[in-house]
Structure 1
C-alpha cells in the first residue's frame, strides 16, 4: 500500500452543507490558507444534506410549533422562534452574497418560495395556535402572518387538507407567505463545486478519516484511507472541523479532547410517505406543520410538504421514526455500540432510564404498518388513498446525549451543538435540525470561538457578506426590511412560483 503525507492549514471532514459553508467563509476571509476537504462518499451532500434525506424546510420558525412553548401562565415564549428566524436571515444574506458574486449560479435550483403554515385541530390546540399567532404577528420577523379558523378560508389555503373534512371538526391554521423550500443537497453541491475551483482548496471524495491525533506542537494529524488509490495518508493541519453529520460523534471521540467526554448519541432514522401523483400534488402548495402526536417527543412534528426536486413536484408526509444502530445511512451496524466508551457509559445508561417514554414511542412507530401510517396522514389529508403514497426512508439523525446542569446525567438534547477544543484548534458540530437552515450562523460561531485573533481583521469582509453581522435584526426593523428585500431579489423569492 502506498503512503502519502501532506500539511495544510485547515481540514474539513465531511462534504455536507456545514463543511461547505465553513470552507466558503474561510476561503473568502483568508484566501491564502490551504483548505482540504475529506468525504468518504463519492460526491458531496449524500447523507443528511441530501434532498431526499430531509424535509427541505427553510427553518425560520414560521410554522414549527415546537419553537414556541406555552409557559405555565399560559403565555407563549417566542424567544427561540425569534432566534431561529434571525439565524435563517443570516443564511439568506450569505447565500445572496454568493449569488451576487456568481459563487452560487442557480438559486432557483436550491431555494423556492413556498408558504409555511401551522395547522391544528381540537379546541385546545386552536386556542394555543391563536395565542401563538397573537404573540408572533406583531414582531418584526413575523409581519404578514395570517390566522384563520374559517373553513372556507382554510380551503383556499390548503384545499387538499380540507376536502372530506367534517364540518363539525374544529380546525385552524396560520399562514406565512415568506416561507421557503430548500434543496440542501443542491446547495451543498453548488457550494463545493465553486469552492473546489478556488486556489488553495482541495476536495477529496472516497477518502475515509480513520483517526485524529493531536501532536505535541498542537497541530492535528489526520489519518485517511484513500479508496481511489488504495493507500493510507497522513495529513497535518493547524485546524480541523468535523462536520460529518451522524459520523461526527465517533470522530470527535477519536480526538480525545476533554470536551468529547460524557457525550453520547442515539440514532433515529426518519421515514416519510411520498406522493408523486400529479392530480394530488397540484392541490397542495405549502409546507404545513402540525402538533406532535400524543406521547411523541416534541421534535416529531408531523408535516405535509410540497417538494420540488430535480424538476419533479412531490408531497412528503411524516416523519415516522425508524431505528437502525447506524449513525449514517452508509454507516456500520456497530456504530452505536462502538460509540459507548468508559467515559460515557453511565451517561448513555442514564439516558435510557430517563427516556422510557421515547423508547416506547419508537417501538410503537417501528410496528406501524403502511395502513396505520396512512391513518396518521388522514388527520392531514382526509381523502388520502393508499395507492397514491409510498414509503421513503430519509436520513439518519443522531440525537445528542450529554450530562448537563439543568438536565442531569444523560440528558437528551434536541437541536445542534457546537463543541470546540479549549485551545481553539478543533471544532465539531453534533445533533440535527435546524442545522442546515442556520448553517451560516453556526459557522460564524466557529469563527468567533476558534479564530478570535483573526476576527477583528475579518469583520469588514464578514459585514460585506452578511450586513447584519454583529447587529440584532429584531431591534432594527429597517435593516431587517432592507435585508429581506435584497435577499428575496437575489434568491428569486420576491414573486411566488409553483
Structure 2
C-alpha cells in the first residue's frame, strides 16, 4: 500500500512513524513545504512548549454556575500520558538518544487574584481528589507562592491577595526538536521518504480511485499518487480539504488566529531559580490560546522566558503564507459560516483585532501586571509565534481538534489546533485506527502497538489509579521526570 502524508510537522511525522513501526512493508512518503521537519507550528518558538496535561490551564476546567467540569482536563491528562509512553518508547529504542534534547521537568502553576480565588479553590478541590492530580498543592500564602514562582511575586505588594496551585511534574517540550529527531528515525531506520520544499497545491481523485497530489517543488510541477492520503498540514489542511471534493468538505471552514510573545534570554542560574510555567486567567472574550502565562523555555541548550501570548487576527493559514492562500481557500458555502461567527462571536473578533494592533508598550504593561518589575529585569523583545486555524463546523466556532476520514478510508485529515502537539501520539494513533484499520488485524502490529503504548485506553488511565501510577512512574523514569 502506498501512503502519502502532507506535512512533516509533529502530527504528520508521528503518523508516519506509528504506521511504519506497525506495518514495516508500507510505502510512506511525506511531502513538506518547508526545508526541514518540524519547522512550522511545531518549531520551538511557534508554540509555548507546554506539555499540556491540564495541570495549570483554567480553560480546561470550565465553571458553569459554580459547578466545575473536570472531564476535559481528565481526557487531556490521559492523552498526554499516552503521548509520554510513545516518547519513552523512542528513548528506550534509541531512536532518540537523550530525553533532555526535547523534554524538561518544569513546574506547572496557576495563579489568580480576586475575584477568581474561589474558582481556583474549587478547581483544586475537584482535581486533587483524582489520582491524576493527587500531587497538586494549593496556597494563598505569599511566601510559599513566591518560593514556587519567584519572578511573578518578587515585586508584588504583599497585601495583594493571591492564590496558586502547583504540580512539580509538569514539562516543557521542544516539539520542533522532537519532530526533527523522530523524522530522522523514520527516514534512516524505518524507510520513510520525506521530500522537502514541496508545496502541495491540489489533491483530487483519479478515475482509478487513487489520489493525485499536485505540488510545486522549487518551481517545478510534480505529481504523486497515493492509495491513502493523510493531510496533517496544520492550517494548510483546510484548502486541500476544499479541493478534495469529499462530501463533508462544505461543513468545515477555518478561522485563523495568530499570536506573539515577549521573549528574553536568561542564564542557567536564572532558569534554575524559576523553572516554571505559570498560567493566569484569560480576559473575558479572549480565545483559550490567549491565557496569559510566563514560561521557562529550554531550546537548543539555551534558556528563555516567554510571556504571552498576545493574540492577533491575520487572514493567513500558516506562518510564511500569504493572504492570497487564505482567500483562495474560501468557497461560497463558507461565507455564511464566517458571517455567523463574526456575528455570534463579535466580542472575540473585536478582541482579536484590538490585540493585533497592540504595541510594545501595551505588551510590557501586561507583563508588568502579571509579574511586577519583570519587564525591567531582562532584555525582552516581541517575537511572532505560529498561526492557528480554528474549526468552524456547521457554522459554529470550535476550539478543539477533529479527525476526518472519508467513508472509503482513503483520505484522512486533522483539523483544529488545541491541545495539539502535546497529545499528538494519542490523536495519531486514533487516526491510524480509523484510516488504516487493516493494520490492527495483524498480530505483529498489535504486539508492536503494545510495546509503544503499554496502556492507550484513556478510560483505564482515568478509572484505574494503580494502572495509571504504574504507567506514569515507568515513563517518567525513562523521560527523566522525577515523580514526587
| C-alpha contact 2:203 2:214 (8 A) present in aligned 1 | yes
What is the CA-CA distance between 1:106 and the residue it aligns to? 2.4
Aligned residue in 2 for 1:472: 460
Aligned residue in 2 for 1:249: 238
Any unmatched runs of 5+ in structure 2?
A: none
> How does 1:270-309 map onto structure 2 within 5 Å?
270-278=259-267, 283-309=273-299
Aligned residue in 2 for 1:61: 54
What is the CA-CA distance between 1:282 and the residue it aligns to? 5.4
Query: Which one of the candidate residues 63, 76, 91 is aligned to 1:70?
Result: 63
- CA offsets per residue over residues 195-214 of structure 1, 9 Å max, x none? 01135421110111121111
**SS across alignment from 2:274:** coil
| C-alpha contact 1:302 1:318 (8 A) present in aligned 2 | yes
Aligned residue in 2 for 1:221: 212
Mapped partners of 1:330, 1:226: distance in 2: 16
Mapped partners of 2:184, 2:398: distance in 1: 33
Q: TM-score, normalised by structure 2?
A: 0.95
Aligned residue in 1 for 2:336: 346
Mapped partners of 2:472, 2:297: distance in 1: 23
**SS across alignment from 1:317:** strand
> How does 1:178-257 map onto structure 2 within 5 Å?
178-227=169-218, 230-257=219-246
Matched, 1:169 2:160: yes
Aligned residue in 2 for 1:115: 107
What is the CA-CA distance between 1:431 and the residue it aligns to? 1.1
Mapped partners of 1:138, 1:324: distance in 2: 42
Mapped partners of 1:194, 1:264: distance in 2: 35
Aligned residue in 1 for 2:96: 104
**SS across alignment from 1:474:** helix
| C-alpha contact 2:239 2:330 (8 A) present in aligned 1 | no
Aligned residue in 1 for 2:256: 267
Matched, 1:447 2:440: no
Mapped partners of 2:250, 2:357: distance in 1: 34
Q: Report the aligned-residue RMSD.
A: 1.7
Aligned residue in 1 for 2:471: 483
| C-alpha contact 2:22 2:439 (8 A) present in aligned 1 | no
Aligned residue in 1 for 2:410: 425
Higher mean displacement: 415-424 or 308-317:
415-424
Mapped partners of 2:276, 2:107: distance in 1: 5
Mapped partners of 1:491, 1:42: distance in 2: 29
Higher mean displacement: 156-165 or 191-200:
191-200
| C-alpha contact 2:391 2:416 (8 A) present in aligned 1 | yes
Any unmatched runs of 5+ in structure 1?
A: 1-7, 404-409
Q: TM-score, normalised by structure 1?
A: 0.93
Higher helix share: 2
Aligned residue in 1 for 2:151: 160
Mapped partners of 1:205, 1:482: distance in 2: 40
Aligned residue in 2 for 1:82: 74
> How does 1:312-351 map onto structure 2 within 5 Å?
312-351=302-341
What is the number of residues matched between the two proteins?
Answer: 479
Mapped partners of 1:205, 1:316: distance in 2: 30
**SS across alignment from 1:316:** strand
Aligned residue in 2 for 1:358: 348
